[in-house]
Amino acid sequence: MFTTKTAIGRCAALIDLTDNSQSNLLLNEIKIGRSRDNDIVLEGDVSASRKQARISRIGDCYFLEDLSSTNGTLLNGKQLHGRVLLNQDDSITMGRRTFVFCVVEFAPETQPAEYVFANSVVNLFQGVQRAVASVLGRVSNTASCDGSESR
């Protein structure tokens, strides 16, 4: 058995708060919309546009851009204009769906080679769980069941 020192880097994902599904952002450009030719398909959501938004990776940064969609794209509850840098735990609303953007950073580590990938997946999952818990905590602290805000 040999070991390897690997710098995994960063992995970004969108968590769909509707069903807690995760879409890993592995490409330099991710297209999102209702049309099947998108990387992330907002299937069955008639309030979403065929070509809703795009997430671009430039270096270690991720940018969100609305693609002139009919109903717009919201970033943290505000209408998106132009291309905007995404930050950890940003909330993105497209159509009727809300996503949470999260990035997990992996530090260089020395491990047996066969465990590097498995541990990376576990670390990503744990990071995603923390991001979702953080967002759900903020949502439950700011809204009550009758729709009024509480602070």
| DSSP tag of 45 | -
Q: CA-CA distance, 86 to 80, in Å (whole number)?
A: 11
At 118, is the secondary structure helix, strand, or coil? helix
Residue 46 has pLDDT above 70, yes or no: yes
Is pTM beyond 0.75? Reply is no
Both tokens of 48, joined, read 């979403």
What is the overall mean pLDDT for the chain? 79
The better pLDDT of the pair 10, 86 is held by 86
Residue 32 has pLDDT above 70, yes or no: yes
Domains and CATH numbers, the chain: 9-142 (2.60.200.20)
Taking alpha carbons only, the member of 82, 69, 70, 90 closest to residue 135 is 90
pLDDT for res 114: 43
Measure Cα distances from 68 to 14, 64, 94 in Å: 21, 12, 12
